[in-house]
A and B are shown apart, each in its own frame.
Chain A
Amino acid sequence: MSAQMLRVTEIEALSPLVKRFRFEHPGGKKLPLFSGGAHVVVEMPDGDLLRRNAYSLISDPQDGSGYEIAVRREDGGRGGSRFMHSNVGQGDTLRISTPLNLFSLDARARKHVLIAGGIGITPIIAQMRQLLRMQDRFEIHYAARLRSEAAGLRLLPRLPHIHSHISDEGDRMDLGAILDRQPIGTHVYTCGPEGLITAVAQCAARLGWPRGSLHSEVFLAPPPGRAFEVTLAKSGRTVTVGPHQSLLEALEEAQVEIDWSCRGGACGRCETDVVSCHGRIEHNDHWLSEDEHSSQTKIMPCVSRFRGRELIIDR
């Protein structure tokens, strides 16, 4: 994964829990352009620990003068977002990967409907900037619980086709009303909690929409869990995965060569064959099929864990 050291040039609080970070090249060089929906992986060296978290870019895809992300502090998380909030200051340099897009706009669309829940608004901000530039037809529906916590409100322009729904004020997003009567050629992009993505899929299915018109990205951080051991078939070594560590991180710590990209169970790059499994793999990815999950023949080390007697993987 190619990456470069970039300097933090701006930090701004968008809400009590969400901060915006801007990164620029220390020598003022232009950064590679990207497309709306892309993310970067930020490396956070914290003592002996090297954390890597993926964040969606919120800046203009056509603007190479800097990259911007918005980070929500997750106090129950594994510490990456806390590190960004408390340890990173203006002028610091961090290693940032080249942008990669697993949530791009569909070029066949005649109209785009963007649906975001909470911090899921981030990729949609860059998609919106791209759509505004291309003068494509779109609408945005952004749902948040409290106005004071709705960081997206600071990032969304006031336009008649951009709608915010604050549930605490009695304005709940009505998916049925949003999807009903949309013209053919409409594509829907949903980012937010798993429940929202499922709700959009169910609503679209109920209305009889073709499935190919639905696109989504779940914000998936590797969930913590119980510590477990994994045996590596190629070397016979055994690696211990700590409660707040992912299997991928444990493999990296053990200097095992492994490819990755999204670190969130979506891109498929870290897919690993299981040689033998006595126990249950806790699959947390969105990459493998249901059959692959139930047969326990593959694992995505970036997000999935294991419980049981023995797991041998082909690494």
Chain B
Amino acid sequence: MPATKFTPSIISRPIYGGLTPHGTVPALMLASGPGGEALLDLIAADPAVLPHATVIYIPEGSDLGPRLEAQGPASYVEAASYASILPRFRKLLAEAPMNTRLYLAGTEGLIGQATAEALAAGMLLEAIEAEHRGSLARRMQCVHCKGITEDVTTDPFTCSHCGLSLFVRDHYSRRYAAFQGVCVDAETPGEVPPKQEIKA
């Protein structure tokens, strides 16, 4: 699955530059599902990134794990979900030296949450590389109840917390790693436009 090209939007909509190798410096690599292919491409582009790399892979049904491990990074961990690996990821960030690069690949939810975590640990945005691969599902925050609904694939969608019908905006919060969902039928209650699949 190739890297996603998003259509231009408002300025707050994140864009992902793709994974550019930074050589032999310490690296943290975190990928989910088809994002594993982006890591394989990165390693193929510059094998020098491997000897000091810690790779965390969340397969989500994909079978790229053995191939990633076979590349021979300094350490390789497979995780069931981002939530399950978060404590370990935090510890790795806390112990990382200043020249560490973070390579992220997968869904926007994964990239956004891991980026927010790294920024909170003091990492600078310029040290983070990200590439979108796989599902276009979005992590949405309801601007009304503030609840977060994961893996939203349609617009509008129903807030999993307060039940409002929400319009999917490109307005993005870097801190919450979520797009903003706004009530779609506030003026005309009940008049909800038909659901459409979210496109890039």
Contacts and interface: CB of A to CB of B under 8 A. Distances in A.
B126 A184 contact: no
Contacts of A207: 25, 98-99
Interface residues of B, number: 21
Residue among B22, B99, B118 with the most chain A CB within 10 A? B99
A184 B123 contact: yes
Interface in A196-226: 207-213
A179 interface: yes
Interface size class of A (residues with CB under 8 A): 10 to 19
Nearest to A182: B98
B42 interface: no
B126 A108 contact: no
Given A179-B98, A181-B97, A184-B100, A208 B122 contact: no
A211 B126 contact: yes
Contact of B96 (A109, A183, A213): A183
Interface string A155-196: 000000000000000000000000111111110000000000
B25 A184 contact: no
A212 B126 contact: yes
A249 to B, nearest CB: 39
A213 B121 contact: no
A212 B125 CA distance: 9
Contacts of B95: 183
Contacts of A186: 98, 122
Nearest to A179: B98
B31 interface: no
Contact of B99 (A111, A185, A208, A212): A208
A110 interface: yes
A110 B99 CA distance: 15
A107 to B, nearest CB: 11
Interface of A: 108-111, 179-186, 207-213
